[in-house]
């Protein structure tokens, strides 16, 4: 087996608590499919047959994904506060080969073979996917004023071919200056630093990295700690010196990176080195060093330009994804066959109606997503909104640009504009809400 | 008469309503057993098959109109011959004798088969069951009949490209290597090898070769966690198509490394023997690698060696032992044929390099680099002129390695070679393969260097290990070559790429050749691990090698 797929579905969705306090992030509906369906669908389309899904028991109970793949669920405690790297350490025993880690909130239709080809061809330790950021055009409920650049920027440095990852740092980790080591500049005199990239949280990692994580318990997050560490280690002096794998290295400090390619016997590794030495190929030119500058640890990135790639970890991203994902992944009919739609209602072509919905007459639904078992009464106007499952909207309501979560009730005549109505909330009749986040009182208490 | 009887029996078997598949199986079996059959016999078999197909169609039609059919089958037969001729004609013309001889053969054959068909029609009502072994028998009996007739050389199918009939055959062959299982819903135990599609319009002289684009790798069409093909083979294929392993020796070593991994991860299924099953497992891998990048002569010889070693594994020894033996064989092969050969060649070449020499090298040959570095280490004083050519610009690698060693080098492009040659005292060329007629197959441009060197009376020495000696015969660079990605030729200067949309111009073709052949008149000496031999002694070496094996 070449690659094992791991889907991380235990995250809390800390940046969109309003949505996720009642429903776990992997189950948030996007285009009437749970969020976790998208990465699983991506893996299935490519040809994976088995996936390890790291999630909580709650999520699994409510999850009913129809997929031909064999899903191996690994449960972790909800409140264990495990980072992604901790989760990998947890499943270290199950990992037999190189892994492909995907986050549950990734919606993309990228050709994954590009990422994995980099991993294979250059015998890389890490290969990841990044995408150019798209500006979110929709108004986000509850956002006052201009969109704040709350997201700290990532500085990503790539070499002149655009494939090799040389430098990665988050703005939060830097004080005032961006420090680039001279050893990097000596080896790669031309480096392009990009800031407008979104990390898709899709990583191809060698098995030795997982083993390294098992030994090194201080790393908790893949994105936050492991990746920058690996990128830095590419140019560290110890990995570049051609040491033989003897016992002294095993006794070194734990934080030292493992010797690469442990899983191949040393004799075979020599053979590969010999083949490389006799090959007339080099990945750079202008200096006297061999291909890859003799370094064993290599990190690659595939920066995709035109395909769709969203990470649904903020409210804005969630709304945007709801708008665009159904267009790309439209396998089912936009209007579910079991939905009852009365003849005098108007349902726009780009709306999605879930199963067992009930739309009464003279209602108009435009550019919206209605979840399963929702009930829309007469004379309701819904535009640009996301209505989740089990919502009741009484007659005469006007809902625009809003997100209405599960089991909410909007009483008659309410006028909701750009609001987020939390799960199970009830909006009183004739209410007029504009640009508000309406959640329960106990949720307000949560930090 | 014996021959015609044989055909009668054959036709009998087939006109009795045998299904296509079993006939195919029979033919397959006969194919397997017909290793000893010469090319003529194989052609006979093929023609027989075609005749039989026509026969059955006629039989299913109107069995009564036997006499009326006589002129028709003859025409059909001739049509069949003619249909076969055009697809093979453009390919076979450079090599085959004129088609006149071909039609001559078919007339006698047709007469025999007409007679046989009449017998078969009479017997068809009895409907005996066919026996595939009989087919082989008849094939063998056919042998003496066809010997006096001239042989029409046909290029093997893996060389014919673009011809729709041949493409269909190729697809079928790849399909045959597939298991009947398919789909992602089950564990795929069969093998799927997608066909890589050609890219861009080709120069018509080379339309029989494949031209692939590096931006469309074969992995695009395969499932990502490649269960069907061993991951190290997929990795290797990718590395070949992207040029990470380039150069004859490098590719061969990388291939053997991947095979070692395959053998390591191999486990014999029940009721199968390692010696036979492993060879069958390797076949789709080799097809896959061929699709990624056409195999080199060194790789071909290495594969032959491995297959021979695997088939020679005795069935008594345990699997683990067999696997270790095979891996040791591979190591021994690399050690002997590449390492020690390089040392031997370097020793001989050292005698040929004198102090004060100006040596010209072309492109990047691992062997020539090794020789020069070794000679420098042993104390010879010389300087090197490195000649390079677009689009590969491999000379830069040679330059880097030699300069790193301390040798003083000059770097020129091939366009300047006639300017530099008056200074040069000898030319060292590496070889991709040495053909059986003494021609040297090397990187495109090497023949030019040899030609110009000859004009200036500069000795040309070719360094080549014996494992690269190939039984092929070629006198020109057209009939068998490799076409690289045409987009490599496109260059961007000052932000402008003139040829960016070259595909829109209907009359424009880009050609990026990889190899060319140098005639032996331009080569003065070939330095091999067997010693320093003239180019014309290559067939002798091959003969000796075959006797050894």
Instruction: Spell out the residues 6+ positions from residue B512 whose beta carbon is closer than 8 angstroms to its own.
Output: B391, B483, B484, B485, B486, B488, B489
Q: Is the CB of A2 less than 8 angstroms away from the CB of B184?
A: no
Strands (E), B333-420: 357-362, 382-388, 408-413
Q: Is the CB of B249 less than 8 angstroms away from the CB of A278?
A: yes
Residue B247 in contact with partner chain A when CB distance is under 8 A: yes
Q: In A, which residues are within 8 Å of B251 by CB distance?
A: 275, 279
Among A2, A68, A275, the residue with its CB nearest the CB of B226 is: A2
Residue B220 in contact with partner chain A when CB distance is under 8 A: yes
Q: Which of A23, A97, A89 is nearest to A61 (CA)?
A: A23
**Separation of alpha carbons A124 and B265, rounded Å:** 21
Q: Is the CB of B253 less than 8 angstroms away from the CB of A68?
A: no
Residue with token string 């009795």: B16
Pairing outcome for strands A403-404 and B408-413:
unpaired
Q: SS3 of A160, please?
A: coil
**Separation of alpha carbons A229 and A220, rounded Å:** 12
Instruction: Spell out the residues 6+ positions from residue A210 whose beta carbon is closer than 8 angstroms to its own.
Output: A88, A89, A92, A95, A99
Residue A101 in contact with partner chain B when CB distance is under 8 A: no
Instruction: Please compute, for residue A406, the number of CA atoms within 13 A of its CA located in the half-sphere on the CB side.
Output: 13
Q: What helix, strand, coil percent values describe chain A, rounded to 5?
A: 25, 25, 45
Taking CA–CA distances from B216, the nearest residue in chain A reads: A114
Q: In A, which residues are within 8 Å of B244 by CB distance?
A: 121-122, 279, 281, 291
Segments of chain A with pLDDT less than 50? 242-256, 258-265
> From the CA of B111, how many Å to the nearest CA of chain A?
55
Length of chain B: 549
Q: What is the DSSP letter of A438?
A: E
Look at residue B250 in the predicted model and tell me its pLDDT.
95
pLDDT tens, position by position, A357-379? 888 888 888 888 888 888 888 88
Residue A325 in contact with partner chain B when CB distance is under 8 A: no
What is the distance of C-alpha A211 from the center of its chain? 24
**Separation of alpha carbons A56 and A10, rounded Å:** 6
Q: In A, which residues are within 8 Å of B366 by CB distance?
A: 277-280
**Separation of alpha carbons A12 and A25, rounded Å:** 6
Q: Is the CB of A280 less than 8 angstroms away from the CB of B254?
A: no
Among A4, A5, A47, the residue with its CB nearest the CB of B223 is: A47
Structure tokens at A77: 């405690």
Residue B404 in contact with partner chain A when CB distance is under 8 A: yes
**Separation of alpha carbons B41 and A330, rounded Å:** 58
Handedness of CA A6, A12, A18, A22 (dihedral sign): positive
Look at residue B458 in the predicted model and tell me its pLDDT.
97
> From the CA of B336, how many Å to the nearest CA of chain A?
14
Between the alpha carbon of residue A28 and those of residues A1, A37, A72, A180, A332, the distances in Å are 32, 10, 21, 40, 18
Going residue by residue through chain B (549 aa), what tens digit of pLDDT does each one get?
A: 444 444 444 444 444 444 444 444 545 444 444 455 677 777 888 888 888 888 877 666 554 444 444 444 444 444 444 444 444 444 434 444 444 444 555 777 788 888 888 888 878 766 555 444 444 444 444 444 444 445 555 666 555 556 677 677 767 776 665 543 333 322 223 577 788 889 989 999 999 999 999 988 888 888 887 778 899 999 999 999 999 999 999 999 999 999 999 999 998 888 888 888 899 999 999 999 999 999 999 999 999 999 999 999 888 888 899 999 999 999 999 999 999 999 999 999 999 999 999 999 999 999 999 999 999 999 999 999 999 999 999 999 999 999 999 999 999 999 999 999 999 999 999 999 999 999 999 999 999 999 999 999 999 999 999 999 999 899 999 999 999 999 999 999 999 999 999 999 989 999 999 999 999 999 999 999 999 999 888 888 888 887 776
CB pairs under 8 A between A and B: 113
Q: Is the CB of B245 less than 8 angstroms away from the CB of A121?
A: no
What is the rounded (10 degree) CA torsion for A243, A246, A247, A249?
20
Whether the full predicted model's pTM is greater than 0.90, yes or no, is no
Q: Which of B372, B360, B374, B375 is nearest to B450 (CA)?
A: B360
Among A68, A268, A288, the residue with its CB nearest the CB of B404 is: A288
Q: Which of A23, A29, A85, A19 is nearest to A56 (CA)?
A: A23
Q: SS3 of A427, please?
A: strand
B83-90 LR contacts (CB < 8 Å, sep 24+): B84/B50, B87/B160, B87/B163, B87/B165, B87/B166, B88/B154, B88/B155, B88/B160, B90/B208
As a whole number of angstroms, the longest Cα–Cα distance in chain A is 80
ipTM score of the complex?
A: 0.86
Angle at CA B496, nearest 5°, toward B495 and B501?
135
**Residue ranges of A 398-417 with Cβ closer than 8 A to chain B:** none
Look at residue B372 in the predicted model and tell me its pLDDT.
97
Structure tokens at B396: 């830069």
Look at residue B68 in the predicted model and tell me its pLDDT.
44
Residue with token string 């208490």: A445
What is the distance of C-alpha B205 from the center of its chain? 19
What is the spatial order of strands in the sheet that A415-417 belongs to? A346-347, A364-366, A381-383, A398-400, A415-417, A432-434
């Amino acid at each position: 087996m070449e690659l094992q797929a791991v889907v991380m579905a235990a995250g809390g969705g800390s940046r969109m608590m309003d949505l996720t306090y009642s429903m776990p992030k992997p189950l948030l509906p996007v285009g009437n499919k749970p969020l976790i369906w998208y990465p699983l669908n991506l893996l299935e389309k490519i040809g994976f047959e088995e996936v390890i899904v790291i999630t909580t028991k709650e999520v699994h109970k409510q999850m009913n994904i129809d997929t031909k793949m064999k899903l191996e669920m690994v449960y972790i405690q909800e409140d264990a506060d495990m980072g992604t790297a901790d989760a990998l350490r947890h499943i270290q025993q199950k990992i037999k080969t190189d892994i492909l880690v995907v986050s549950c909130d990734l919606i993309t239709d990228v050709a994954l073979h590009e990422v994995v080809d980099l991993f294979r061809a250059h015998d890389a330790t890490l290969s990841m996917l990044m995408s150019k950021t798209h500006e979110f055009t929709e108004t986000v409920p509850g956002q006052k004023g201009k969109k704040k650049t709350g997201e700290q920027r990532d500085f990503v440095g790539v070499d002149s071919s655009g494939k090799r990852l040389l430098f990665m740092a988050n703005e939060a980790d830097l004080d005032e200056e961006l420090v680039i080591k001279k050893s990097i500049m000596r080896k790669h005199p031309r480096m392009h630093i990009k800031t407008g990239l979104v990390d898709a949280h899709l990583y191809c990692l060698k098995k030795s990295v997982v083993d390294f994580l098992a030994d090194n318990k201080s790393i908790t997050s893949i994105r936050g700690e492991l990746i920058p560490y690996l990128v830095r280690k590419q140019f560290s002096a110890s990995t570049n010196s051609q040491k033989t794998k003897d016992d002294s290295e095993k006794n070194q400090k734990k934080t030292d990176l493992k010797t690469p390619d442990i899983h191949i016997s040393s004799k075979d590794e020599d053979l590969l080195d010999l083949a490389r030495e006799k090959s007339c190929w080099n990945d750079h030119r202008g200096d006297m060093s061999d291909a890859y500058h003799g370094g064993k640890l290599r990190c690659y990135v595939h920066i995709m330009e035109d395909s769709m790639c969203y990470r649904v970890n903020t409210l804005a991203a969630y709304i945007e994804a709801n708008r665009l994902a159904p267009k790309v992944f439209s396998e089912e009919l936009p209007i579910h066959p079991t939905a009852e739609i009365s003849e005098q209602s108007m349902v726009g072509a780009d709306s999605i109606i879930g199963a067992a919905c009930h739309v009464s007459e003279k209602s108009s639904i435009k550019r919206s997503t209605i979840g399963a078992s929702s009930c829309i009464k007469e004379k309701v106007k819904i535009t640009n909104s996301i209505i989740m499952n089990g919502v009741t909207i009484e007659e005469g309501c006007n809902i625009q640009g809003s997100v209405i979560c599960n089991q909410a009730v909007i009483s008659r005549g309410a006028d909701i504009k750009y609001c987020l109505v939390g799960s199970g909330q009830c909006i009183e009749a004739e209410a007029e809400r504009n640009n508000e986040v309406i959640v329960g009182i106990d949720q307000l208490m949560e930090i | 008469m014996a021959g015609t009887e044989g055909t009668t029996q054959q036709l009998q078997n087939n006109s009795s309503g045998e299904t296509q598949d079993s006939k195919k199986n029979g033919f397959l079996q006969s194919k397997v057993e017909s290793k000893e059959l010469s090319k003529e016999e194989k052609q006979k078999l093929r023609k027989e098959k075609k005749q039989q197909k026509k026969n059955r169609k006629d039989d299913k039609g109107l069995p009564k109109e036997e006499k009326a059919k006589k002129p028709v089958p003859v025409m059909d037969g001739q049509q069949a011959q003619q249909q076969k001729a055009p697809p093979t004609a453009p390919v076979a013309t450079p090599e085959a004798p004129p088609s006149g001889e071909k039609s001559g053969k078919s007339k006698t054959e047709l007469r025999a088969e007409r007679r046989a068909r009449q017998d078969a029609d009479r017997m068809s009502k009895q409907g005996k069951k066919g026996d595939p072994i009989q087919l082989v028998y008849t094939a063998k009996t056919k042998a003496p009949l066809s010997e006096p007739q001239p042989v029409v050389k046909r290029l093997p199918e893996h060389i014919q490209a673009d011809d729709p009939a041949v493409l269909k055959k190729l697809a079928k062959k790849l399909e045959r290597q597939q298991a009947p299982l398919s789909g992602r819903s089950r564990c795929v135990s069969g093998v799927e090898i997608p066909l890589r599609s050609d890219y861009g319009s080709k120069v018509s002289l080379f339309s029989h070769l494949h031209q692939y684009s590096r931006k469309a790798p074969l992995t695009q069409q395969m499932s990502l966690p490649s269960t069907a093909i061993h991951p190290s083979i997929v990795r290797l294929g990718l590395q070949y198509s992207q040029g990470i392993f380039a150069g004859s020796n490098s590719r061969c070593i990388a291939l053997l490394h991947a095979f070692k991994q395959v053998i390591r991860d191999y486990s014999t299924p029940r009721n199968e023997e390692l010696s036979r099953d492993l060879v069958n497992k390797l076949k789709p891998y080799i097809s896959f690698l061929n699709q990624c990048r056409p195999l080199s002569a060194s790789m071909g010889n290495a594969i032959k060696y491995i297959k021979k070693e695997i088939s020679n594994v005795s069935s008594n020894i345990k699997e683990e032992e067999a696997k270790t033996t095979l891996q040791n064989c591979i190591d021994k092969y690399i050690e002997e044929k590449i390492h020690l050969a390089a040392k031997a060649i370097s020793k001989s070449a050292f005698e040929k390099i004198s102090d004060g020499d100006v040596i010209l090298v072309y492109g990047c040959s691992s062997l020539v680099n090794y020789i020069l570095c070794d000679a420098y280490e042993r104390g010879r004083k010389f300087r090197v002129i490195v000649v390079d050519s677009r689009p590969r610009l491999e000379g830069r690698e040679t330059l880097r390695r030699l300069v790193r060693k301390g040798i003083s080098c000059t770097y020129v492009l091939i366009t300047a070679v006639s300017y530099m040659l008056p200074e040069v005292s000898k030319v060292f060329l590496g070889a991709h393969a040495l053909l059986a007629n003494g021609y040297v197959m090397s990187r495109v441009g090497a023949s030019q260097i040899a030609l110009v060197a000859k004009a200036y009376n500069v000795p040309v020495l070719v360094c080549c290990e014996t494992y690269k000696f190939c039984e092929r015969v070629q006198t020109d660079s057209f009939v068998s070559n490799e076409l690289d990605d045409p987009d490599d030729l496109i260059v961007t200067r000052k932000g402008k790429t003139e040829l960016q949309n070259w595909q829109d111009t209907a009359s424009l073709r880009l050609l990026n050749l990889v190899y060319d052949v140098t005639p032996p008149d331009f080569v003065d000496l070939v330095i091999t691990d067997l010693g320093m031999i003239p180019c014309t002694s290559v067939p002798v070496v091959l003969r000796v090698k075959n006797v050894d094996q």
